[in-house]
Amino acid sequence: MFRMLRLEAKRSIALLLFLVVAALTRVFLWMDVQQWAASWTPLVHSMRGTAWIVLPVVLAAAIWHGGRERRAEVSELFAATPRPHRVRLLPAFLVFAGTAVLAVAAVVGWAAVVVAGNATFDGGEWPLGLAVGLLAAVAVTLVGLGVGRVAPAPVAAPLGAVLLFLALTFAQVRDGRPANRLVDTVLPMLPVTDDFHRVLPAFSVAQGVWFAGLGATGVLLAVAVTSRARALALAPAVAGVALGAVLAPSGAIVPAPAATALVCAPGDDRICVTQVHSRALQDLIAPARKVLEAFAEVPGGPKRVQEDQVSWMFDDGRPTAGADLDTVRVALPYRTREGGIRWEPDAVLSIVAQEATVDPGCFDGQEEQRRAFDASGAITAALLDTPTDKLSPAARQAYDTLRALPIEERRRRIGDGRRAGLTCGDPLAVVMGREAGR
């Protein structure tokens, strides 16, 4: 058997397929590295997302390989050999399916090393998501081999790739329509989520049932010799998609409380981040302390800084609706740098200071947002002595107004402006002394 597998690998396009699939997976994962390099859940979603471009290539290669005997007009010659038909096809199945899986698995192994050095939270469900992604590659490979034996025409391979690419592309475009259990089960990608939510394992199991049925259909198509057998070969795929849709939960995306549990700075419970992002806590401590110290003498100033546990994708606004003026809730971006995931100190200071003074969700119009951010910039510059060269004319005027006030009056004015900015008032007018907010 080993000799047959080696010959199959040498005389086929398996090596080329390995290189192409590995390169495509690597490129598309690297393009999204800032999203997954510190967390297992985003890695699974990014890897599964590469199916959009990788699986059409796998399908085309498998169709081309599956039709080689009939294109070369040697089907009758091979049929006359004493080896059973199924035994003769087994090396092609193993080599091609193994090639697709190994190519993806090799790149995922590299990505897992990156994540392992940065992740601080392991929900325990990511191996299942990766396994189903590999199963999808196997299923598409087997289907391609089966289709290639049924339709060996040279145009079948590119046509199959184009059709699968278009199907995956259009299936993902929902235009605001609600999720569909059947469509989500069939797609090799996972529903979109974030670090604060997870996809239920039951959904991955449902997808696994569908891909197992699809792979069985590919095998049956490859060994079928009659029209009736080819029609019956579709039964596993039909059964798989039906059973998968039944098993799929109606709400596949749920909150992940363990990921959003707060981890606070050692000896200072005023500064906290979520467990899933706890590696970057050290980068938040200094900017947060600077903001808290600057506001310490301001009436009604903030007492805590913590990462916002509310997801802008799935949660409806802040649970406190801006009423908790003692806590600054920040949504902190992270970037990949040498040595792991780090938050840029200057960017973090700017974000914390802005979230401490205005609630962007209060202001719908561009003019209202501009005025709120101008007030925030003036307050930040006056309290933290940050550079003023990038302030807008209105913010610079507000800054000059604050600096001209006696120290006690300046602090009171800043406190009133902050309250207005967090309760949907007009912080710029308050800072300029024109009204008391609302």
Alpha-carbon span 383 to 315, nearest angstrom: 33
Length of the chain: 438
pTM over 0.85: no
| Amino acid found at 24 | L
- Residue ranges for the chain with pLDDT beneath 70: 1-11, 68-88, 173-179, 312-313, 316-323, 333-343, 435-438
Centre a 10 Å sphere on the Cβ of residue 14 and count the other Cβ atoms it contains.
Answer: 22
| Amino acid found at 220 | L
| CA–CA distances in Å: residue 80 to residues 3, 151, 213 | 21, 21, 31
Q: Half-sphere exposure of residue 87, counting CA atoms within 13 Å on the CB side?
A: 7
Q: Could you tell me if 298 and 328 are in contact, meaning their C-beta atoms sit under 8 angstroms apart?
A: no
Q: Quote the strand ranges of 266-378, DSSP E.
A: 268-274, 304-307, 327-330, 335-337, 340-342
Alpha-carbon span 380 to 357, nearest angstrom: 8
Model pLDDT for residues 131-153, shown as the tens digit of each residue = 999 999 999 999 999 998 888 78
Model pLDDT for residues 306-319, shown as the tens digit of each residue = 998 887 667 765 54
Residue 13 has what pLDDT?
A: 81
Residue with token string 């798989």? 240
Of 318, 386, 399, the closest CA to residue 351 belongs to 386
Q: Quote the strand ranges of 183-299, DSSP E.
A: 197-199, 253-255, 262-265, 268-274
Tokens describing residue 183:
């469509």
Q: Could you tell me if 236 and 217 are in contact, meaning their C-beta atoms sit under 8 angstroms apart?
A: yes
Residue 409 has what pLDDT?
A: 93
Distance between start and end Cα atoms, the chain: 81
Residue with token string 């792979």? 215
Alpha-carbon dihedral 315, 321, 323, 328, rounded to 10 degrees: 50
Residue 281 has what pLDDT?
A: 87
Residue 222 has what pLDDT?
A: 87
Residue 10 has what pLDDT?
A: 66
Residue 15 has what pLDDT?
A: 87
Residue 364 has what pLDDT?
A: 80
Alpha-carbon span 292 to 296, nearest angstrom: 6
